[in-house]
Structure 1
Amino acid sequence: MSQPFEDLPTTPTSEELVDKAFSRAARAGRAKSGHDAPLSMLQTASNIASDNLENVVSDWPDFDDLDPFYEELADAVIASNTTDDDAPDIGGIDAVRQHLSEINWASRKTSEIRDEYQGRIATGDIDTARKLRKQAFARIADVVEEVEGDLAAVGAARDDLKTLPDIRPDEPTIVVAGYPNVGKSTFVNAVTNARNETASYPFTTTEIRVGHFDDGHIRYQIVDTPGLLDRAPEERNDVEAQAASAVEHLADAVLVLVDASEECGYPLDLQLALRDDIEARFDVPVLTVCNKADRSRDVEADLYMSVTEDENVQGVLDAAVEAVDYEPELPYDGQ
């Protein structure tokens, strides 16, 4: 399962939709004569407005079918948009549902206007037909403009969600946590067999790092989440706290790296307090790993390693794989 929002197309504005519908309608009308001209114009304008509005709705994934990780992360990202003075106040996922519902209403309404006016245009004299076509156009424009704010809100949500990092919740995942400078990114770089990917959460300039490695023909995902799991919970704002909560759905095991030498710049007691919070929040195995063990081992830990000295790095990775205890689903043979 890939990032569910990355292929969302650009959301048109109400003005763009009206201009597109009426300009296409004008071309369609020039190709016809008599009553066929206003009828063709009405049909074209209505179809373009209705279809484009419907596409805005249908292009979005069903929120009820989202993996809990992406559902909660998307809710946090959308909510964070309200902190930007220049962005529409779109709330969270429930607000986007409502905006999409209003856009869907507008799609149906433009079709109803077409159905209402078609018979009247076809049976009246040509002057009346042209007046009725103009009335229909005015009503279609009013309907599209009525959802101007809904389109803007959905467009803003789309722009933010497209930039979410591509994380695969269906892959066995190891989350690496711990205070800054304890060696998390160095560890991720060391154990992934390719240059790891980076992407930024839309609500922070901090990059998330994602790497992959294979073990026993199984592809594992290893994730470093700076800005979320590298500081005390009370230091996170509401959006960061919710995003950290989303990571709980993602992790199959957590490695908490600590630096007993304290060269990272954080006292050991703070590092262990962060570890304790992670243990309390995550309902998966949490392993305490003393990194920089060549400098200090003065902490009780599950594992000791030094990435820079290549000491027990593979052992830590093997322990993480064992903690995940992933068993791939086998095809059902019907027996």
Structure 2
Amino acid sequence: MLRTPFERVPVPPEVDDVINLVLNRLPKIQGKTVKEREINRLLTYMNQVEKYKDFVSKFPRVEKLHPFYKESVEILADIDRVKICLFNTSRTADLAMKSLREGINTIKTKDEKEANAIMRRTFGRTSSILRKNRECTSFLIKVTVQLKRMMAVDPSLPTVIVAGAPNVGKSTLISKLTRAKPEIANYPFTTKDIHVGHMRMGERLIQFIDTPGILDRPNTERNQIELRSVNALKNLKGIVVFVFDVSPLSYYGIEDQYSLFKEVKELSEKRTIPVINKIDEKDDTYYNEVRARVENALEISADKDIGLEELKKEILKMLGTSLDRGLLDN
């Protein structure tokens, strides 16, 4: 099963949650002697701190990520801050572990009557160390949780990126060409993240990317939803299927859609198949305007399964793959 680089990163609890968890467990932790009991309590703390070491060690090296995944991090957070916080969290975990080891060694060498006081001082010192880096640790946890929600994209696969303005029928098209089940609704920005579907053609697996809708505006003014689409267009190899909506209920006029079409072609520098969608309910003025501006546009109705076989053949022709068989589940 294809995984994202972040899927196996174990997300630790927030710092205050770890401290409270250990604190609540202390009365239940026992030992054969007083020293053993207090050492066991600090060992329990060590087991929790170790989660931060594991978290940092399994977080992918940002500079080694594929450009698509690296930009996915950049969309969510400043990469320099991510790197700094990874370093600080690792160093904080090392200092906390050192504090706990020193406390355990001190308990072993001191009188049994001092064991509980040493444990308490060690617990307090270790908690202070962790709290000093609490903001950085919390930042990393939040970023990682969002990255783990990403659908897995294989940058090595031949890819069809379905692009267009919001609510032009991209998700419906993806659901018909593959067996992916993106959310579909009759309002803009229903798709808020990248969705992935696959089609198997003989021995070849083709990856389809359902991108969130993009508005025709400067990149600096785009929100995170739109930037995810821009990321796919820039950093995944393959072709683009650009969808125009020519229905009377289209949210965006042809001028806006055409302007976006030109920008997508410039941005992605990929071969592009223009598609006129909702042909079964077309507005003649919208339809004629697209026809006048865009050469070789295919006509489809994703909802009514009109023209989809022709679109598949054109996709395969552009990808250099011959039509063979069926669909593959996402």
Aligned length: 305
Q: Aligned-pair distance for 1:142?
A: 1.2
Matches within 5 A, 1:118-197: 118-180=104-166, 182-192=168-178, 194-197=179-182
Match of 1:314 in 2: 309
Q: Distance in 2 between matches of 1:105 and 1:313?
A: 56
CA contact (8 A) 2:9 2:58 kept: yes
Amino acid at match of 2:296: D
Provide the aligned C-alpha RMSD in A. Answer: 3.2
Q: Which residue is equivalent to 1:16?
A: 17
Q: Does 1:232 align with 2:232?
A: no
Counterpart residue type for residue 32 of structure 1: K
The separation in 1 between residues aligned to 2:124 and 2:251, in whole angstroms, is: 66
* 2:65 corresponding residue in structure 1: 66
The aligned amino acid for 1:305 is E
Q: Aligned pair in 2 of structure 1 residues 129, 206: CA closer, same or farther (>3 Å)?
A: same
Match of 1:99 in 2: 85
1:237/1:120 CA distance change after superposition, 3 Å: same
The question of 1:31 aligning with 2:31 is answered yes
With over 3 angstroms needed to count, the CA separation of the structure-2 counterparts of 1:288 and 1:222, relative to structure 1, is same
CA distance in 1, matches of 2:18, 2:306: 61
Change (3 A) 1:129 1:219: same
Asked if the contact 1:174/1:220 (under 8 Å) is kept, the reply is yes
**Cross-structure match for 1:281:** 267
Q: 1:217 and 2:211 equivalent?
A: no
CA contact (8 A) 1:14 1:144 kept: yes
Amino acid at match of 1:319: E
The letter of the residue matching 2:110 is G
5+ long unaligned stretches in structure 1: 80-91, 328-335
2 CA distance for matches of 1:306 and 1:227?
A: 19
Given that residues 289 and 301 in structure 1 are in contact (C-alpha distance below 8 angstroms), is that contact kept between their aligned partners in structure 2? no
Q: Name the SS for the 2:273 alignment partner.
A: strand
Map Cα deviations across residues 272-303 of structure 1 (whole Å, 9 max, x no partner): 22111111111221222344567546334223
Distance 2:209 2:119 in 1: 58
Query: Per-residue deviation at 1:160?
Result: 2.5
Seen in structure 2, the aligned counterparts of structure 1 residues 167 and 152 have a Cα distance that, compared at 3 Å, is same
Q: Give me the TM-score of the superposition, normalised by structure 1.
A: 0.76
Alignment of 1:244 onto 2:229: yes
> Structure 2 vs 1, CA of residues 146 and 310 (structure 1 numbering), >3 Å: closer, same or farther?
closer
TM-score (norm 2): 0.77
Match of 2:326 in 1: none
- How far apart in 1 are the matches of 2:243 and 2:236? 18
- Alpha-carbon distance, 1:325 to partner: 3.8
In structure 1, the residue corresponding to 2:269 is in which secondary structure? coil
Greater mean alpha carbon deviation, residues 109-118 or residues 16-25 = 16-25
* Unpaired runs of at least 5, structure 2: 323-330
